[in-house]
């Protein structure tokens, strides 16, 4: 057999293992709920879950909560992206500032910022403001740190070469600094987006009035398990779609520089 054919066969085999794994999981789930008498409060019937999911999608009940969560996410990310890139850029312009402030930012970043959620709730209330503030804080650090790393460590040779060829400040920024820094900044933005999404859904779960995280908790407290599983599947799908879109945008942005 040719190596290419062998590789294709290997790929097919591992794909079928993955498919078998998923099918086995669903069959076990189904059997557990129908045959083995696992309480429907712990594990609802998968058929019921699919029906509920269909009902949620058809009735459009999710629109309100989805809009709340996405609005929070959009505002939080807009705040952290603009402030993170601006502050990161300003810091990266001097070695002194990098050496003073970068370890400080990295240190704060290593503290689990979710700890401050009770404070944010105290300051900003139970509504969207506290989620926006928390999401913006958490996603600020990866964006700012990557902006510092992007602009701060551009190879000196490029800068000197551009200057000696008579580049102006604007030209230096446009043709040397920005292309060198952009891939790293985009990576920071993707990381920031992911943690912003996580922390917003998380803080909605812990204390909130609306949003997808709130909806899941609400259903859990009402013991409507099938609908809750359906919502979990929905939120996971939304998160995966958003993360895929952001990764694709990141890859695209990197290609264009």
Partner 1 sequence: MTSLATTLRSWLRRPWIARVGAVIALFVFWEIAARWWVDPMFLSPPSRVLMSLQAVFDTRGVPAALRITFWELGVAFAMSVVIGLVVGLAVGLQPFAQKSFMPIILLLYGTPQVTILPLFILYFGIGPASKIAFGVSHGIFPIIMAIVAGVQNIKPILLTSARSMGASRWQVLRHVIFPHMIPSFFAGMRLGMTGVLLGVLLAELYVSTAGIGYFTTLFTQNFDPTRLFGLIAVLAAMAIVLNEIVRRAEVHFSRWHAD
Is residue 24 near partner 1 by the rule CB under 8 A?
A: no
Q: Which is nearer to partner 1, 10 or 179 (CB)?
A: 10
Place of tokens 């000196």: 156
Q: Which is nearer to partner 1, 62 or 176 (CB)?
A: 62
Is residue 101 near partner 1 by the rule CB under 8 A?
A: yes
**Distance (Å, whole) CA 206 – CA 157:** 50
| Nearest Cα residue to 186 out of 252, 140, 244, 240 | 252
- Other C-beta atoms lying within 10 Å of the C-beta of residue 188: 26
Q: Which is nearer to partner 1, 74 or 179 (CB)?
A: 74
Q: Per CB under 8 A, which of residues 204..233 are in contact with partner 1?
A: 205-206, 212-213, 216-217, 220, 228, 232
Q: Which is nearer to partner 1, 180 or 206 (CB)?
A: 206
3-state secondary structure at position 104: helix
52 within 8 A of 216, measured Cβ to Cβ: no
| Maximal C-alpha separation, the chain | 79
47-66: burial string, b at 16+ Cβ within 10 Å, e else: ebbeebbeebeeeeebeebb
Quick note: the x/- pattern for partner 1 over 125-154, rule CB under 8 A, is ------------------------------
As measured in angstroms, the least distance from the Cβ of 96 to partner 1 is 7
Interface with partner 1 (CB under 8 A): 10-11, 13-14, 17-18, 21, 41-42, 96, 99-101, 103-104, 107, 110-112, 114-119, 121-123, 197-198, 201-202, 205-206, 212-213, 216-217, 220, 228, 232, 235-236, 239-240, 243
């Amino acid at each position: 057999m040719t190596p290419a054919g062998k590789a294709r066969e290997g790929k097919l085999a591992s794909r079928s293992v993955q498919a078998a794994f998923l099918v086995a999981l669903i069959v076990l789930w189904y059997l557990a709920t129908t045959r083995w008498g696992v309480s429907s409060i712990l594990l609802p019937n998968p058929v019921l879950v699919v029906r509920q999911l269909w009902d949620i999608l058809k009735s459009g009940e999710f629109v309100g909560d989805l809009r709340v969560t996405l609005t929070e996410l959009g505002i939080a990310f807009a705040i952290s992206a603009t402030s993170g890139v601006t502050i990161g850029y300003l810091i990266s312009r001097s070695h002194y500032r990098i050496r003073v402030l970068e370890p400080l930012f990295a240190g704060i970043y290593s503290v689990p910022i979710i700890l401050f959620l009770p404070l944010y709730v105290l300051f900003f209330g139970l509504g969207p403001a506290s989620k926006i503030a928390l999401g913006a804080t958490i996603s600020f650090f990866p964006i700012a740190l990557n902006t510092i790393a992007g602009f701060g460590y551009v190879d000196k040779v490029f800068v000197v070469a551009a200057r000696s060829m008579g580049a102006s400040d604007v030209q230096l920024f446009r043709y040397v600094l920005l292309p060198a820094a952009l891939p790293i900044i985009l990576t920071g933005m993707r990381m920031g987006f992911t943690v912003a999404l996580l922390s917003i859904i998380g803080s909605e779960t812990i204390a909130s009035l609306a949003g997808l995280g709130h909806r899941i908790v609400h259903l859990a407290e009402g013991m409507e398990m099938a609908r809750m599983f359906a919502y979990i599947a929905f939120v996971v799908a939304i998160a995966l779609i958003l993360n895929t879109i952001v990764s694709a945008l990141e890859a695209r942005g990197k290609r264009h520089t």
